Amino acid sequence: MPEHVTFNSLGTTCAADLYLPAQTPAPALVLGHSGVMVKEALAFFAPYFVRAGFAVLAIDYRTVGSSEGEPRGLDHPERQVEDFRSAISYLQGRPEVLAERIGLWGVSAGGSVAVQAAALDRRAKAVVVQSPSVWNGWRYLERLLGREGLRALRDRLDADWQQRYETGESARVPHLTLGHENVKDAPALSEQVFPTYRNEKTLDSTEHLLTWAPENLIDRLAPTPLLMIANGGWDPYHVLEEAQSAFNRAGEPKRLEILPYDVLGLYTGPGLEEAMALAVGWFDTYLRKTRLPEATPVPTIETVEAMRR
């Protein structure tokens, strides 16, 4: 069973589940979920890493699940980046963790959040993205909704802006409406299985998504190692071409694995086993076996004087 912990993310208390391996201190991972999940759903993924000897911190972003923050359900990717970085700071203060060997793992939109966090924060020593989805929010929504649908959304956002101006509150909308037969019941099932999950967000969350473009920073990630595990089957939400485009922008070392599964295929079944084996192998290589770069110490005045003598 995990230890339920909290950490401070720039003034907001975030909730997390801490899983510890049998032997510590150990390399550690921060796990970030998608928009239709909470940290309890990460319990499907965390045991693979714990059995491999990693400490794992599965987090709820602010305003979501068991974390604090208002308004509830404000889906703000840049702030989720801050939550990832604050989670690194928390792990570095835990005696069970090797503070210089921390990696990030994210699923769906949480994957691109993890990438941007690692691009900004060199304390993250390796990144794995599973079922990546949003690399350019404007393009993602236009692909998902069509041009007419996006135009209608922007009309709603204009009206919502006026409502926010007058009342200070944004409208509340479903986080995701899934129409395909394979996945249409996923939000309701999530609410049933995970009591802290709500398929609801503020409408102004969509404005934050429209301006979210981590593809513009992914080339700054190197030399942090990146593994991207993409869906090769039918999937309108984790589009393979989007993953390939973002991957091509990234620097080395990097690896792209395309597995032949559909929209939920890397969350369950044999696709999950394959994806987690790849992730464990990546973190094992870059957090356990790789010698991390060491900074050259700055010489003191006394050292310089001694060298001159």
Residue 163 lies in a domain: no
Average pLDDT, the chain: 91
62 — pLDDT class (breaks 50, 70, 90): very high
Host domain of residue 240: 3-142+209-308
Residue 64 lies in a domain: yes
- One-letter amino acid for residue 245 of the chain: S
- Span 252-271, average pLDDT: 90
- Close Cβ partners of 126 (under 8 Å, ≥ 6 residues apart): 103, 104, 224, 225, 226, 227, 282, 283, 286, 287
- Span 52-63, average pLDDT: 98
Region of poorest pLDDT, from 138-152, 233-247, 289-303? 289-303
Residue 7 lies in a domain: yes
Residue 300 lies in a domain: yes
Q: Which one, of 257, 253, 260, lies nearest residue 290 by Cα? A: 253
Six-digit token pair at 122?
Answer: 């060199």
- Span 167-177, average pLDDT: 87
Please say if the pLDDT value at position 225 is more than 80.
yes
Residue 270 lies in a domain: yes
- CA 101 to chain CA mean position, Å: 18
Whose tokens are 């049933």? That residue is 192
| Cβ–Cβ under 8 Å, residues 104 and 117 | yes
Read off the pLDDT of residues 262-283 as tens digits, 9 standing for 90 and up: 888 888 878 999 999 999 999 9
| Cβ–Cβ under 8 Å, residues 237 and 264 | no
Whose tokens are 């921060």? That residue is 30
CA distance 243 to 131: 9
- CA 287 to chain CA mean position, Å: 18
- Return the CATH number at 35: 3.40.50.1820
Residue 174 lies in a domain: no
Residue 192 lies in a domain: no
Structural domains in the chain (count): 1
Read off the pLDDT of residues 284-306 as tens digits, 9 standing for 90 and up: 999 998 877 666 666 666 665 66
Residue 181 lies in a domain: no
Please say if the pLDDT value at position 147 is more than 90.
yes
